[in-house]
Amino acid sequence: MYTRLCAFLSKASLMLAVVGLIAIILCVQYQVFGRYVLNDTPTWAEALALMLVIYVTSLGLAVGVRDAGHIGLESIIVLLPESIRLKLEILIHLLVGGFGGLMAWNGYLWTTLKWSDTKPMLGVPSGMDYVPLVIAGTLIVLFSIEHIIALFQGKEVEPAWN
C-alpha cells in the first residue's frame, strides 16, 4: 500500500518534471524567436525558465532518491558483513531522510519569508523559488521511509518508471 503510494508519487513527479523540462526548452526557444523575429525580447522567458528549473530539479532529485540514482561511494560497504551492512544502509536512509526533512522545513521558512517580495520580470512572489524545496524535502522523507521498510522486509524498491 505504502509502496504503491510512493510509486505513484514518483511516477507523477517524473511526469510533471518532464512537462517542466519541455516548458523550459520552449521558454528559451521563444526568447530566441522574440529577439530575432519579433524584435521584442520576451523578458519573462529567462526568469520563468530559471524558476521552472528548480521545480524540475527538485522533482528529479526526489525520484533519484527513490531510484537510488545519486552518485556515491559504495565500494567500502559492500566489503562489510551482511548484518553491519544492513545497519549502515538504514543509517544512510535515515541521514538522507533527515536532510530531506530539513530541506522541507527550511524551504517552508524561506517561502514564507519571501512571499511578500515579488520576483522581477514575473510578478509572482519570490517565495515561489523555495516551494520546490518543500515538495522535494517531503518526497525525500517519504521515499527514505519506503527504503527503510523495504530493507526490513528484505526487498528492494523498484523504480516506478523505466
Give the binding range for other proteins (CB under 8 A) out of 1-9, 17-25, 146-154: 17-25
Return the range that interacts with other proteins (CB under 8 A); candidates 1-9, 113-121, 150-158. 113-121
x/- mask, other proteins, residues 134-153, rule CB under 8 A, reads --------------------
Least separation, in Å, of the C-beta of 6 and other proteins? Answer: 15
Helices (H) and strands (E) in the chain, counts: 4, 0
Using CB under 8 A, which residues numbered 49 to 108 contact other proteins? 49-51, 53-54, 56-64, 67, 69-77, 88-89, 91-92, 95-96, 98-99, 102-103, 106-107
SS3 118: strand
**Nearest distance, CB of residue 138 and other proteins, angstroms:** 14
DSSP notation for 39-98: S---HHHHHHHHHHHHHHHHHHHHHHHHTT-S----TTGGGS-HHHHHHHHHHHHHHHHH
- Rounded CA-CA distance 54/140 in Å is 16
Q: Does 124 help bind other proteins (rule: CB under 8 A)?
A: no
> Residue written as cell 541521514?
95
Site for other proteins (CB under 8 A): which residue of 2, 112, 113, 156? 113
